[in-house]
Structure 1
Amino acid sequence: MTPELTVDAKDPARTTIAEIAGAIGRGQVVVCPTETLYALVADAANPSAVERVYAIKNRGSDQPLPLMAADVAQVEVAVGPMGGVGVSLAAEFWPGPLTLVVQARGSIDSRCLAADGSVAVRVPGHVVARAIARAVGGPVTSTSANRSGVDGVARVSDLDVEIRGMVGLIVNAGTLTGGAPSTIVDVRGRVPKLVRDGAVAWSRVLRSLA
């Protein structure tokens, strides 16, 4: 049976975060909370761990994995500069459910990149998720903990039985808010482009840049 850790969603113990980060550092895929749904989290710089995320989700290799990071500094060190539009949106909406598509220039595994070399990344609005990325020392994968084409879960008890058996650790932070996934915005150009509508309304994104 896959081990399960219960964590305080608002004030996670350092020892618990260290244990989670250790599992990720050893190449395991871990179910972790975000501000909306539970996610499959793995070291984005570990090719075998990233490949396992694809296998667990039964996800096509043409669908790059989104990432989450501890803060803007971690994004710029591991991924690369976000540009003016990206910096402005990050200042307004991070931490939170806004994912930015930027050009990757760092050490992120190629399976997390789109064909054009871009990567989708955000700083999540959940204390535990940010603490994990900080403890790992770099961005981690952040794709919903479900099979492709199936709804994500806001409670650990709703995890697919097969997924439970394929991950190395489950982190239980209670019932999450659920709802829409993160909004995805391409910020590589001078004008942002909406890739996927979601938790942050597109109108709010545009107003923040006006």
Structure 2
Amino acid sequence: MADQYDLSVAQELLKGMREARAALARDEVIVIPTDTVYGVAANAFSAAAVSRLLEAKGRTRQSPPPVLVADVATFDALASEIPQVIRDLLAEHAPGALTVILPAQPSLQWDLGDTQGTVALRVPDHDVARELLRETGPLAVSSANCHGEPAPNTASGAQTQLGDRVALVLDAGEVGGEASTIVDATALTAGNNGKARIVRQGALSRAAIAAILGEALEGDAPDETALSAADSAPDSTPQSTTEAGA
């Protein structure tokens, strides 16, 4: 089984974070806490690491993972366009349980899988996760569960499912337990005349999103079949098969 570090103990916190950074630098995958569920994380810019992440979960390239970042400012480095109404949404709900699908910067040297030119981004509302992200940069992070199993809200639950397929587990106690809400905003970008739509209803309510997006939000209920990653839990057309994010 992977080593598990209790982050409530100061000595283990320091060692666990150090070992986590080292493991990610070696393109290994680890389990980290977020505000929603525990996630399995890998270096987003290493195709080998992302491949190990998907293998650990029993997923394929058709289920590319979302990317977690330390702050909203990083969105501009990873997404080629962010509509103003989405910036308004992020200003209100990031950090938080909001994942947004946007067109990816075409110059990025990464391979997350079959993304069809998009990327799903989120800023987690969890101090440990954001501290790690500030030190490592963007991480590919998917819910720390095996395909078909529920996303865990405890480190022990994640370790039970993933076992030695991960290098280590950071234990921050019980977390929220409900995955993030995923909004596909690609239809709002240049050359499109569509609306944003919720492709997975999670911890952030539709009402909270509609209060900011207004008529820019599609009126239909979330398409439950749009997420091939409904093994919980970082979708929709065009990124219809994004792996469920933490």
Which residue of the partner structure matches residue 183 of structure 1? 181
Once the two structures are superposed, what CA deviation does each residue of 1:44-89 show, in whole Å capped at 9, x if it has no partner?
Answer: 1011000001100001321111111000122222344422122111
Task: Considering Cα pairs closer than 8 Å and 6+ residues apart, tell me whether 1 or 2 has the greater RCO.
Answer: 1
- Judge conservation of contact 1:65–1:113 (CA < 8 Å) in 2: no
Q: Does residue 183 of structure 2 align to residue 194 of structure 1? A: no
Distance 2:81 2:213 in 1: 18
Which residue of the partner structure matches residue 17 of structure 1? 17
- Three-state SS of the structure 2 residue aligned to 1:64 is coil
Deviation at 1:6, TM superposition (A): 1.8
Deviation at 1:141, TM superposition (A): 1.5
Q: Give 1:170's aligned amino acid.
A: V
Structure 1 segment 1-80 matched on structure 2, within 5 A: 1-8=1-8, 16-80=16-80
Which residue of the partner structure matches residue 156 of structure 1? 155
Which residue of the partner structure matches residue 204 of structure 1? 208
Q: Give 1:25's aligned amino acid.
A: A
Deviation at 1:209, TM superposition (A): 2.9
Deviation at 1:200, TM superposition (A): 0.8
- Judge conservation of contact 2:2–2:159 (CA < 8 Å) in 1: no
Q: Give 1:169's aligned amino acid.
A: L
Distance 2:15 2:79 in 1: 28
- Three-state SS of the structure 1 residue aligned to 2:91 is helix
Distance 1:147 1:16 in 2: 23
Q: Unaligned stretches of 5+ in structure 1?
A: none
Structure 1 segment 61-210 matched on structure 2, within 5 A: 61-105=61-105, 106-107=107-108, 109-112=110-113, 114-115=115-116, 117-137=117-137, 139-159=138-158, 161=160, 163-178=162-177, 180-190=178-188, 191-210=195-214
Seen in structure 2, the aligned counterparts of structure 1 residues 3 and 14 have a Cα distance that, compared at 3 Å, is closer
TM-score under structure 2 length normalisation: 0.76
TM-score under structure 1 length normalisation: 0.88
Seen in structure 2, the aligned counterparts of structure 1 residues 72 and 112 have a Cα distance that, compared at 3 Å, is farther
Q: Please, which moves more after superposition, 13-22 or 52-61?
A: 13-22
Q: Runs (4+) of structure 1 moved beyond 6 Å?
A: none
- Three-state SS of the structure 2 residue aligned to 1:174 is coil
What is the number of equivalent residue pairs in this alignment?
205
- Judge conservation of contact 1:79–1:107 (CA < 8 Å) in 2: no
Identity %: 32
